[in-house]
Amino acid sequence: QKEVEQNSGPLSVPEGAIASLNCTYSDRGSQSFFWYRQYSGKSPELIMSIYSNGDKEDGRFTAQLNKASQYVSLLIRDSQPSDSATYLCAVKGDGGSQGNLIFGKGTKLSVKP
């Protein structure tokens, strides 16, 4: 059974701080990794994708991937109250077909003004 694990939180950080969100996955054959943001009652919104080991930066967001450790993380710099949401880690295999997304349960982030 392919699993994606995340700490459910809540993770509480003060405004302006760095929020660090972590995710581990079980399928060593996974090739594509995504972070989605989900506000309560809304749909997942893609914020970052990463495909190779190392860091990928986009504005205030940095995704980090370590395939040897089967670990993905998301850093949010200068956190804002509007960043308060549940962050979903999603992993896609690269099997015979295109593979589906396997989601973690999500980490709830709360940014306090």
The CA distance from 67 to 41, in Å, is 32
Q: Which of 14, 46, 57, 58 touches other proteins (CB under 8 A)?
A: 46
Q: Which of 19, 21, 23, 34 touches other proteins (CB under 8 A)?
A: 34
Query: Which span (13-21, 60-68, 73-81, 84-92) binds other proteins, by CB under 8 A?
Result: 84-92
Classify the phi-psi angles of 41: left when phi > 0, otherwise alpha if psi is within -120 to 50, otherwise beta: left
Contact 72, 50 (CB under 8 A): yes
For position 31 contacting other proteins by CB under 8 A, the verdict is yes
Instruction: Find residue 90's DSSP bridge partners.
Output: 34, 103
For position 45 contacting other proteins by CB under 8 A, the verdict is yes
Question: What are the CA-CA distances from residue 17 to residues 11, 35, 73, 93 (Å)?
Answer: 12, 19, 16, 33
For position 59 contacting other proteins by CB under 8 A, the verdict is no
Q: How far is the CB of 63 from other proteins (least distance, A)?
A: 13
For position 99 contacting other proteins by CB under 8 A, the verdict is yes
